[in-house]
Structure 1
Amino acid sequence: MSLLGLLSILLLATATNGKGGKEHSKLSYKVEAVPNSYGEHGEGPHWDIESQSLYYVDIEAGKLLRYDYQENKVYKSKIEGEDLASFVIPIEGQNGKFIVGAARRAIIVDWDGVSNTSKVDSVLFEVEAGEKYAGNRFNDAKVDPRGRFFGGTMQYIGNDTYPLAALYKYDKGNVSTVKKDVGISNGLAWNEKLKKFYYIDTDTYEVNAYDYNFDTGVPSNPKVIFDLHGAKPEDDLLPDGMTIDSEGNLYVATYNGHTVYKVNPSTGEVLLAIKLPTKQITSAAWGGPNLDILYVTTSAINDQPAPAGTTFKVTGLGAKGLPMSKLRL
Structure 2
Amino acid sequence: MRPRVDQVEAAAAKTDAFPREIFTLMGASGLMSLPYAEEFGGAGQPYEIYLQVLEELSSVWMAAGLGISVHTLTCYPVASAGTPEQQAELLPWMLSGETLGAYALSEAQAGSDVASMTTRARRDGSDYLISGTKSWISHAGHADYYTTFARTSDDGGRGISCFIVPADSPGLSFGEPERKMGLHGDTVRQVIYDEVRVPEGRRIGAEGHGMPLALAGLDSGRLGIAAGATGLAQGALDLAAKYAVEREQFGRPIASNQGLAFLIADMAAAVGSARASYLYAARLRDAGRPFGKEAAIAKLIATDAAMKVTTDAVQVLGGAGYTQDFPAERYFREAKVTQIFEGTNQIQRLVIARATLGR
Question: Taking structure 2 as the reference length, what is the TM-score of the superposition?
Answer: 0.23
Larger proportion of helix: 2
Largest Rg, 1 or 2: 2
Question: Taking structure 1 as the reference length, what is the TM-score of the superposition?
Answer: 0.24
Larger proportion of strand: 1
